[in-house]
Amino acid sequence: NAGVTQTPKFQVLKTGQSMTLQCAQDMNHEYMSWYRQDPGMGLRLIHYSVGAGITDQGEVPNGYNVSRSTTEDFPLRLLSAAPSQTSVYFCASRGREIGEQYFGPGTRLTVT
Amino acid sequence: GNSVTQMEGPVTLSEEAFLTINCTYTATGYPSLFWYVQYPGEGLQLLLKATKADDKGSNKGFEATYRKETTSFHLEKGSVQVSDSAVYFCALSDENEGYQKVTFGTGTKLQVIP
């Protein structure tokens, strides 16, 4: 049981490049979400999904796309990277317990 | 909307000192409350939770009581250890949003020195 896994751990992009951050969970959780963590800002919700085929926007969705074709996977796509997207990105999943989320180890992204 | 306010850090304590990290919240519905901990280089982990007023969550010597009258959920520990050094996040999840989203505070960094 690996929990929530994220790849890559570190990534450097140039402005305008695109990439996909991978997230997978093996706990059969319906709910998955993506957050970004910036100094002094806490965690801000980017997108979330309540099940395969269902996604919705969070607090800061601009510049990011998501899809959920399977229960296990929830990739986050940066369409055209900008320096403002330099951040640490966390994927999380939740089972039936209210609010109890399981977080991945994070991806540290730098956009130059 | 919902919000969580926690005390600014960093907080620096000597080993065996008493810890309090303040947290207050505003919510449109009846929230469940949480404390998460983030150790260096890792993701967040749930530390404790409380789902109704006057409930006390506890884990690893940490405690927090859900105070509806003061809309607070302060984190306490009687004797901190160096291994408690981490960032602590207060959070809530609201029935009005179907408990689908979790709103986090900005985090409080705790450093415990020997």
Which of A42, A45, A58 shows the shortest C-beta gap to B107? A42
The pLDDT tens digits for B32-85 are 999 999 998 888 999 999 999 999 999 999 999 999 999 999 999 999 999 999
Q: Which residues of chain A have a pLDDT value below 50?
A: none
Q: How far apart are CA A45 and CA B2, in angstroms?
A: 13
B95 — phi, psi (to 5°)? -65, -30
CB-based contact A99 B44, cutoff 8 Å? no
Average pLDDT along chain B: 92
Q: How far apart are CA A42 and CA A46, in angstroms?
A: 13
- Contact (Cβ atoms closer than 8 angstroms) between residue B105 and residue B23: yes
